[in-house]
Structure 1
Amino acid sequence: MTMLTGLPPSRLWNFFAQICQIPHPSKREEALRNWIANLATAEKLRLKKDQKGNLLIRKPASAGMESCQPVILQAHLDMVPQANADSGHDFSRDPILPYIDGDWVRARGTTLGADNGIGVAACLAVLTDPTVKHGPLEVLFTVDEEAGMGGAFALQPNWLEGKILINTDAEQDGDIYMGCAGGLEARLNFTLDFEALPEGYQTYQLQLSGLQGGHSGLDIHEDRGNANQVLCRTLFRLQQHFPLKISALNGGTLRNAIPREASAVVALPLSQRAEFAAWCDDEAQRLKQEYRHIDPAVQLTGSPCPQAEQVLTAATQHQLLAGLTAIPNGVIRMSHAIKGVVETSTNLGVIKIDGEQLSAVSFVRSLTDEGRLHLRSVFAAIAALSHAEAVFSGDYSGWAPDPDSSVMQIVRQQHQRLFGHQANIMVIHAGLECGLFKKAYPDLDMVSVGPTIKGAHSPDERVSVSSTERFWQLLTATLAAIPQHQR
């Protein structure tokens, strides 16, 4: 950890190193929240917590800036808990182990938590650094962002006083975000009927692995392999060549992460062992050819495993594989209004069998309400055709761009002054909490900035050191440039 504290800006990196020591996956942010609350108390700052667990800290203005417009800095406390299969990491108790790799900070075998830990560290640095110039300041730390934006959904009116909000959850240096996609969870629940494994069948573990995964919003346009989709497609093809029996099927861990691994327990006649092995080899080579440019490390293996006691009935298996294979995944439509930006997408993030039910959980994103509602209809139709139950939750609209945003103009001017070139004004195909803040605070003037983070929501997550320094410079310069109240 000490190696991070030598990076510039040292105060920010020192806080990030401490954040890495405190487990804080989604829905388990208590320890980090309590640590921040104790820090605020030690700094003699005003502190409030709402029923959901969101934390609000107020700091008086710097000397001479008392008449400036109040600003809200915002970050979310939780991180996505993703680990390599061989890491043995327990996110409920084990610290993140960061290390420096050139201009990047990475983690050993897990997600780093730079999303949004760097933003949290920047907010704490502002709160504790007496040299940072700012007007009246509120810092909002939300909970449960990655697993459903529960903190943002629960934010109550009249809690915040500022009219300007700077979100620190953007992930590209040089970009200023002023809009984002809305979201919707679409869950298909399939009822399963089982029967005893027939005589003369051998059970196999069919494993799909080696995919890079990633963020289901920021990386969806790269057409990376989705382990759940690929394995369902593979099983559908397999049953066309063999009298296949399925006993188990699971893949992915989070709805908003492109799944890297998926597995199934299948059974085939003992007499077809050689044919099955050859088919698996051929299918593995076909997948390597298909994904040679984006996921060249993809692997498909089929190996004997302990005998299953029960398998799906033929009718159940037919309906299940038809429904799962039909689930859309990836980019659905590009935006016609904003060139080069994804408008609508969906990610089949989790497949899980629990008792006599299989749940397939997808996360839909769209810049438009129409795109989101269209996919809702698609999932409802798939459910009707495959005799499944469709359950929709967490439906929220996106953050519509405001071309007249005054804070966006301030950030853009400071970027030009500091770095000598214009920033990109962007709309992001990911879910920022800003869209939900607008429901409780429709008059908020908002912008989102951050350092360059790659591989978010995967163990390949990394944050650029040099861009983090520029992010800090831009953030503090923006706070210093906020004008006085208009009379």
Structure 2
Amino acid sequence: MNAHLEQLEPRLLWRHFRTLCNTPRPSGHEAALVAALEAWAEARGLAHDRDAYGNLRIRKAASPGCEAAPGVILQGHLDMVAQANADHPHDFTRDPIDTYVAEGWLHARHTTLGADNGLGVAAALAILEDESLVHGPLEALFTLEEESSMGGALNLAEGWLQGQLLLNLDSEDRGQVYVGCAGGADVVVEAQLPTSPLSEEERAYRLALTGLMGGHSGIDIHKGRGNANRLLMRVLRALAPCEVRLIDYQGGTLRNALPREAFATLALPEDEVVSAQARLEALAAELRAELKGVDEGLCLTLSPWGDEVEEALTPTASHLLVDALHAAPCGVERMSAELPGVVETSNNLGVVSLAAGRFHLCALVRSLRDSATRDLADRFRALFGLIGARTRVENAYPGWTPDPDSRLLARFCDLHRRRLGRDPEVKVIHAGLECGILGGKYPVLEMISFGPMIRGAHSPDERAELDSVEEFWGLLRALIEELAEG
């Protein structure tokens, strides 16, 4: 499948990307891809090993005469975000990604593309295979579970890597180089809430909020797009006078993707249905007006629910839960005063569920300041403690502090200027690159991050600009050759 990819330039890179598209690799299911890459490395006589967590390293000795050059580590993550449109059946653990080209961009049909970080991984593999390249000692580090928990980087073996310079290939903007990123943490809230039987007057209805764009919870958090969980809680608050009770709820699928859809099953008194429909029509128009020009696909529907339902949250529990979720931090919390235009602290209400009274929330807090990450997580603990819920913080990872005096950065900027006739933008990103974690384990590493242009990451709108991939490949290849000179 995806044979057309091998006709694109640079062919060596796209051939490896085809392998990644054809090998299912959602977070936690990278084993088949790791085995395929090990077999590839073995066939080419490249040294390879794994650390205790399963992160993969492939090494290539320096070109003759370049043995004294600083070792370069090419780094990316093997997993991809698994998001598909609701009406498209796709098993990310078994089905390949179906790609196509349109107007100079590579897309996937109804799913995420996996260019994040598949293009970076493919570039690293192509570098290892390129026999015409003059290079110093090379290591390619491929981490696991970046999208779900940063697990691979957090558990990376210390004292394992040998290189001094690290090129993270997980950025998504042409003409930019990243030298810093936000840290973050998962905030998990859980509670067992009381339920009671439906009355004779109550009927079950399905409330659906669909049609939002979604996107990356770091890169896109400041763009004003709708968060389905936040918006549906606003809707439920507006329906409070109709005496609705929550039966179940499901919104979002990943804590690092802006939720595009959310669904609630409600117990609604029969004589309040007409009033509820009128409120929903008015609110849908209001929300569409607020999102005009930013996220225009919102659709809000209420329909009878045919499945047999016996219980819903008690009125008090239902109201308290909706109120708490409505009040929870969501979106941009603060912009950076030191870095104009950069988000400092944010939160994404990523995954919310309710079933048989069991409530679960997983939010992703990000900040350039670790103290702000801790404080925002503590606000969740304080808020949801009021309804008797338990809050814990998981998978915390540090930010990456910029080093504007880095010699590696200076070399890259000079190369960019000479090849493309302009300076790159030196940026700090409000997303969780693995560099902060890797720098904590290997403090001597000099690091930069760059990549091709990817848009719509973490959503089925994900796409990669073909010209930017060729430009990225040329920069990466030229940088490695220049670093081989010492």
CA RMSD of aligned residues (A): 1.1
CA positional deviation for 1:276 = 2.0
Question: Residue in 2 aligned with 1:281?
Answer: 281
Q: Is residue 190–residue 320 contact of structure 1 (8 Å, CA) maintained in 2?
A: no
Q: Distance in 2 between matches of 1:428 and 1:461?
A: 18
1:477 aligns with 2:478: yes
Q: Is residue 336–residue 343 contact of structure 2 (8 Å, CA) maintained in 1?
A: yes
Question: Residue in 2 aligned with 1:418?
Answer: 419
State the SS of the aligned residue for 1:83: coil
1:256 aligns with 2:256: yes
Q: Distance in 2 between matches of 1:483 and 1:57?
A: 18
Q: Is residue 254–residue 350 contact of structure 1 (8 Å, CA) maintained in 2?
A: yes
Q: Is residue 85–residue 110 contact of structure 2 (8 Å, CA) maintained in 1?
A: yes
Q: Distance in 2 between matches of 1:56 and 1:210?
A: 41
Count how many residue pairs are aligned between Structure 1 and Structure 2: 484
Encode CA deviations 1:66-108: one digit per residue, 9 max, x unaligned: 2211100001000000000111000010000010011110000
Q: Is residue 203–residue 304 contact of structure 1 (8 Å, CA) maintained in 2?
A: yes
Question: Residue in 1 aligned with 2:354?
Answer: 353
State the SS of the aligned residue for 2:177: strand
Q: Is residue 80–residue 113 contact of structure 1 (8 Å, CA) maintained in 2?
A: yes
Encode CA deviations 1:421-477: one digit per residue, 9 max, x unaligned: 000010010000010011210111000010010000000000110000010001001
Letter in 2 for 1:27: G
State the SS of the aligned residue for 1:263: strand
Q: Is residue 67–residue 484 contact of structure 1 (8 Å, CA) maintained in 2?
A: no
Q: Distance in 2 between matches of 1:221 and 1:228?
A: 17
Question: Residue in 2 aligned with 1:443?
Answer: 444
| TM-score normalised by structure 1 residue count | 0.98
Question: Residue in 2 aligned with 1:233?
Answer: 234
Letter in 1 for 2:305: C
Question: Residue in 2 aligned with 1:150?
Answer: 151
CA positional deviation for 1:24 = 0.2
Q: Is residue 181–residue 429 contact of structure 1 (8 Å, CA) maintained in 2?
A: yes
Question: Residue in 1 aligned with 2:21?
Answer: 20
Question: Residue in 2 aligned with 1:59?
Answer: 60
Question: Residue in 2 aligned with 1:108?
Answer: 109
Q: Distance in 2 between matches of 1:356 and 1:230?
A: 21
| TM-score normalised by structure 2 residue count | 0.98
Q: Is residue 319–residue 387 contact of structure 1 (8 Å, CA) maintained in 2?
A: no
CA positional deviation for 1:356 = 3.4
Give the unaligned 5+ runs of structure 2.
none
Q: Distance in 2 between matches of 1:293 and 1:385?
A: 37
Q: Is residue 172–residue 451 contact of structure 1 (8 Å, CA) maintained in 2?
A: yes
Q: What are the equivalent positions in structure 2 for 1:50-129 lying under 5 Å apart? A: 50-129=51-130
| 10-19 or 165-174, which deviates more | 10-19
CA positional deviation for 1:354 = 4.5
Question: Residue in 1 aligned with 2:376?
Answer: 375
Q: Distance in 2 between matches of 1:282 and 1:383?
A: 30
| 39-48 or 475-484, which deviates more | 475-484
Q: Is residue 284–residue 301 contact of structure 1 (8 Å, CA) maintained in 2?
A: no
Q: Is residue 248–residue 356 contact of structure 2 (8 Å, CA) maintained in 1?
A: no
Letter in 2 for 1:112: L
Q: Distance in 1 between matches of 2:345 and 2:273?
A: 43
Letter in 2 for 1:61: A
Letter in 2 for 1:24: R
TM-aligned CA distance change 1:354 to 1:133, over 3 Å:
farther
Q: Distance in 1 between matches of 2:424 and 2:372?
A: 29
Question: Residue in 2 aligned with 1:395?
Answer: 396
Give the unaligned 5+ runs of structure 1.
none
TM-aligned CA distance change 1:63 to 1:483, over 3 Å:
closer
State the SS of the aligned residue for 1:222: coil
Encode CA deviations 1:42-68: one digit per residue, 9 max, x unaligned: 010001111211001110112332221
Question: Residue in 1 aligned with 2:299?
Answer: 299
Q: Is residue 239–residue 276 contact of structure 2 (8 Å, CA) maintained in 1?
A: no
Q: Distance in 2 between matches of 1:446 and 1:272?
A: 60
Q: Distance in 2 between matches of 1:322 and 1:146?
A: 30
Question: Residue in 1 aligned with 2:172?
Answer: 171
Question: Residue in 1 aligned with 2:187?
Answer: 186
